[in-house]
Chains A and B, each alone.
Chain A
Amino acid sequence: QQPVQSPQAVILREGEDAVINCSSSKALYSVHWYRQKHGEAPVFLMILLKGGEQKGHEKISASFNEKKQQSSLYLTASQLSYSGTYFCGTGVEYGNKLVFGAGTILRVKS
């Protein structure tokens, strides 16, 4: 079953923060986050594994609550380059078959 992402879309001004949520009805083994710009391929941001630590690099970080079957992506002090559609992909078993959410459209304005 497809994970549910929220919000569906968000508009920010440069420097503002955003949180994107990903919720699944199934117990999760892994959560993958990707960003896709218009007309391009999805680009990997980070992966969180069951029993693993919260991840982060630069101003983008993510958490994984295994009990709630949820993950959140945190974008801090947003930049114009953060604009795009963000997808979470959830894995329910060892291996790597993912089910992706419908995406969250993020637009950062100057």
Chain B
Amino acid sequence: NAGVTQTPKFRVLKTGQSMTLLCAQDMNHEYMYWYRQDPGMGLRLIHYSVGEGTTAKGEVPDGYNVSRLKKQNFLLGLESAAPSQTSVYFCASSYPTTGIRDGTQYFGPGTRLTVL
């Protein structure tokens, strides 16, 4: 099993350009998440999804859009990149936290994005 994979690993954009980050998981998890990580600020939730076809906003959703057309994939889009979106982006997936499953989030390796 590959777990959670992310593409690309690195990307440099110019202000105003658009791009899509792809996250894929092979663990049959219902939940998927996109985080950004900036120095000294920990992980901040951008958007998340509790199932195929459903998405919801996290703490810092502005400037990003997401789609979950298939259960195993979660896409993060930047329509018009800004320097403030320079960050490391992590995708994660999990089962829901229930009495049986503990909701462990498994993280992908990250995408390092620089916006000039």
Which A residues lie at the B interface, using CB under 8 A?
Answer: 2, 29-30, 32, 40-44, 47, 49, 87, 89, 91, 94-103
Does B102 reach chain A (CB closer than 8 Å)?
A: yes
B residues 21-42 with Cβ under 8 Å of A?
A: 31, 35, 40-42
Complex Cα gap A106–B98 (Å)? 31
B59 touching A98 by the CB < 8 A rule?
A: no
11 A-B pairs, CB-CB below 8 angstroms? A30-B97, A40-B109, A41-B108, A42-B90, A47-B102, A47-B104, A49-B102, A91-B103, A94-B98, A96-B97, A101-B42
CB-CB under 8 A for A100 and B103, given A41-B108, A95-B96? no
When the two chains form their complex, are residues A99 and B59 in contact, meaning their CB atoms are under 8 A apart?
Answer: yes
With A96-B96, A100-B44 in contact, is A41–B104 under 8 Å at CB?
no
A41–B5 alpha-carbon span in the complex (Å): 11
Q: Are A96 and B40 interface neighbours, CB within 8 A?
A: no
- Complex CA–CA separation, A103 to B94 (angstroms): 21
Q: Which residues of A contact B96 (CB under 8 A)?
A: 94-96
Contact, CB under 8 Å: A98 / B90: no
Inter-subunit contact A42/B107 (CB<8 Å): yes
Q: Which of B35, B48, B103, B107 has the most CB of A within 10 A?
A: B103
Q: Which residues from chain B contact A94 at a C-beta distance below 8 Å?
A: 96-98
Q: Considering only CB atoms, which chain B residue lies closest to A45 in the complex?
A: B104
